[in-house]
């Protein structure tokens, strides 16, 4: 690998690390933001929809932008939106404006959506040049960033440091990482590679993604990714508040619980390759869904906050490989691989980004702990359907290092 490729790879890793830090910094401070806004659980659900809608808009727009302008420009635009969103969220929190926080999260989510797809395309190009796995580590860096962000958020929560200055400082870090990444990337990469994320008419585009759902196996895979992504997204959106409201712990303890979850997700993603090679997709995902369900059940029914906090480790480990493994299974087709991967990825993003905020409306009536039974039911369904992830006889096994967490 030449020095230019190493710089590209390092720039991408650094940017994903910073993006994960930004995401977790917001999540860790949600109890403090809720208190500043004096918002109900349902109102917080509406605020979180800003992140969901922005993220879906960014994911939808990223492919066409990459195809037209390349990864360098798209990642730069995404980084700018992330930084702007963090700053607007910081101002909205400081002024106790729920509408300001909503707008900031919408901008932040748009930037994340733009940057994530483009970073995957750029990472795949680097992987092809380097001849070694890049994408698993790329997403592992994002998870590692969530651990760093959770640690930072926990410390600042314990110190009663204001949310506004905290998010503003994180915005500066993300801006620096974004500039470093963009300067390390060549122009034009990804204009043709964008076809692989679902934008080629008749193959990976919207028509193709709708058409492939006629395959019953793909429908089962879609249910699995929906369940696993929903389990991850529910923790990202609600775990600190669940511990604070459901177990009456401090905001610092709520942040610590999210740190445990984020750390277990990171561990699961970095350790996933050897497990998949030894045990195969079906057993890994089935065991993961059972593990996540067991951890979530303890969170719902345990009378002890210590047991519930420890159970989030099982929740995170079990959910960590769901998204990348389902994408790998969706690509097991000789003709429609791009459309199938695009369709399953879209289902996963919808579950991860849009579904969890809706839980807030149910939680207003029955509480967050009981609301998590919705996620538990989905994990049980994933366990039952995991056999659909087996490699069809007509298709060779896909390289697992290409799976995208």
Q: Is residue 293 located within the same domain as residue 189?
A: no
* Of 197, 214, 234, the domain-final residue: 197
Does the structure show a pLDDT above 80 at 296?
yes
* Half-sphere exposure for 233 (CA within 13 Å, toward CB): 30
pLDDT in tens, 165-185: 999 999 999 999 999 999 999
pLDDT at 136: 66
- HEC string for 24-63: HHHHHCHHHHHHHHCCCHHHHHHHHHHHHHHHHHHHHHHH
141 and 126 within one domain: yes
Residue 227 domain-assigned (yes or no): yes
Contact by Cβ (8 Å): 364, 40: yes
Q: How many distinct structural domains can be found in the chain? A: 2
* pLDDT surpassing 60 at residue 5: yes
pLDDT digits (tens, 9 = 90+) for 347-402: 777 787 777 878 888 888 898 899 999 999 999 999 999 999 887 654 444 444 44
258 and 389 fall within a common domain:
yes
- Residue 331 is predicted with a pLDDT of 66
Is the pLDDT score of 194 beyond 80? no
Residue 380 placed within a domain: yes
Residues 21-58 pLDDT 10s:
999 899 888 888 988 998 887 788 888 889 888 988 88
Same domain for 193 and 205?
Answer: no
Q: Are 212 and 118 within one domain?
A: no
Number of Cβ within a 10 Å radius of residue 1: 12
Of 19 and 192, which is predicted with more confidence? 19
Residue 55 lies in a domain: yes
382 lies in the same domain as 323: yes
Domain end point (choices 150, 177, 197): 197
Mean pLDDT for 126-143 is 74
Q: Is the pLDDT of residue 94 over 70?
A: yes
The range of the structural domain enclosing residue 284 comes to: 200-395
Q: Is residue 403, in this structure, part of any structural domain at all?
A: no
Same domain for 99 and 245, yes or no, is no
Tokens of 64: 């066409």
Q: Looking at per-residue confidence, does 288 or 196 come out higher?
A: 288
| Contact indicator for 136, 80 with CB cutoff of 8 Å | no
Domain end point (choices 197, 231, 266): 197
What b/e string do you get for 300-325 counting C-beta neighbours within 10 Å, with b at 16 or more?
bebeebeebbbbbbbbbbbbbbbbbb
188 and 209 assigned to the same domain: no
pLDDT at site 395: 43
Query: Does residue 217 surpass a pLDDT of 80?
Result: yes
- Token pair for residue 179? 């500039």
pTM over 0.85: no
Same domain, 190 and 208: no
**Could you give the CA distance from residue 49 to residue 41 in angstroms, rounded to a whole number?**
13
Average confidence (pLDDT) over 325-348: 68
Q: What is the 3-state secondary structure (H, E, C) of 264-292?
A: HHHHHHHHHHHHHHHHHHHHHHHHHHHHH
CA torsion angle 115 218 352 81 (round to 10): 20
CA dihedral 259, 264, 266, 269 (to 10 degrees): -160
Choice among 90-99, 248-257, 278-287, 304-313 with the minimum mean pLDDT: 248-257
Residue 142: the pLDDT is 87
The CATH number assigned to the domain holding 308 equals 1.20.1250.20
Q: What is the pLDDT of residue 195?
A: 47
Task: Identify which has the larger pLDDT, 302 or 68.
Answer: 302
Report if residue 404 sits inside a domain: no
* CA dist., res. 83 & res. 75, Å (int): 12
pLDDT of residue 172: 96
Domain shared by 174 and 286, yes or no: no
163 lies in the same domain as 112: yes
**Does 183 share its domain with 223?**
no
Give per-residue pLDDT as tens, 61-86. 877 787 788 889 999 999 999 999 99
Percent of the chain with pLDDT over 90: 40
CA distance 306 to 163: 26
């Amino acid at each position: 690998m030449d020095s230019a490729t190493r710089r590209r790879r390092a720039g991408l890793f650094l940017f994903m690390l910073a993006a994960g830090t930004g995401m977790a910094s917001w999540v860790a401070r949600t109890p403090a933001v809720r208190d500043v806004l004096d918002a109900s659980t349902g109102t917080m659900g509406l605020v979180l929809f800003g992140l969901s809608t922005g993220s879906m808009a960014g994911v939808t727009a990223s492919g066409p932008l990459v195809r037209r302008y390349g990864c360098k420009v798209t990642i730069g635009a995404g980084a700018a939106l992330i930084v702007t969103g963090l700053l607007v969220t910081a101002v909205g929190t400081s002024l106790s404006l729920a509408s300001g926080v909503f707008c900031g999260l919408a901008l932040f989510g748009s930037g994340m959506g733009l940057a994530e797809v483009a970073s995957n395309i750029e990472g795949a190009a680097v992987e092809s040049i380097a001849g070694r796995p890049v994408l698993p580590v790329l997403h592992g860096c994002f998870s590692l960033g969530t651990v760093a962000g959770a640690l930072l958020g926990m410390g600042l929560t314990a110190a009663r440091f204001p949310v506004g200055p905290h998010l503003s400082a994180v915005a500066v870090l993300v801006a620096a990482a974004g500039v470093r990444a963009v300067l390390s990337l060549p122009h034009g990469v990804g204009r043709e590679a964008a076809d692989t994320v679902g934008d080629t008419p008749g193959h990976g585009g919207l028509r193709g993604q709708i058409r492939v759902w006629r395959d019953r196996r793909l429908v089962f895979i879609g249910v699995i990714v929906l369940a696993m992504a929903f389990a991850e997204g529910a923790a990202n959106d609600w775990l600190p508040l669940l511990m604070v409201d459901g177990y009456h712990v401090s905001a610092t303890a709520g942040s610590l619980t999210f740190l445990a979850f984020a750390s277990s997700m990171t561990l699961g993603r970095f350790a996933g390759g050897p497990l998949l090679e030894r045990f195969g997709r079906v057993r890994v995902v089935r065991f993961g869904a059972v593990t996540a369900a067991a951890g979530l059940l303890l969170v719902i029914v345990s009378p002890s906050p210590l047991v519930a906090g420890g159970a989030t480790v099982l929740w995170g480990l079990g959910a960590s490989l769901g998204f990348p493994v389902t994408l790998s299974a969706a690509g097991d087709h000789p003709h429609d691989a791009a459309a199938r991967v695009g369709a399953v990825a879209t289902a996963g993003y919808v579950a991860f980004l849009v579904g969890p905020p809706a839980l807030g409306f149910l939680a207003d009536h029955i509480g967050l702990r009981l609301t998590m039974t919705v996620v538990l039911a989905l994990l049980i369904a994933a366990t039952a359907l995991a056999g659909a992830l087996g490699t069809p006889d007509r298709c060779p096994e896909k390289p697992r290092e290409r799976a995208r967490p």
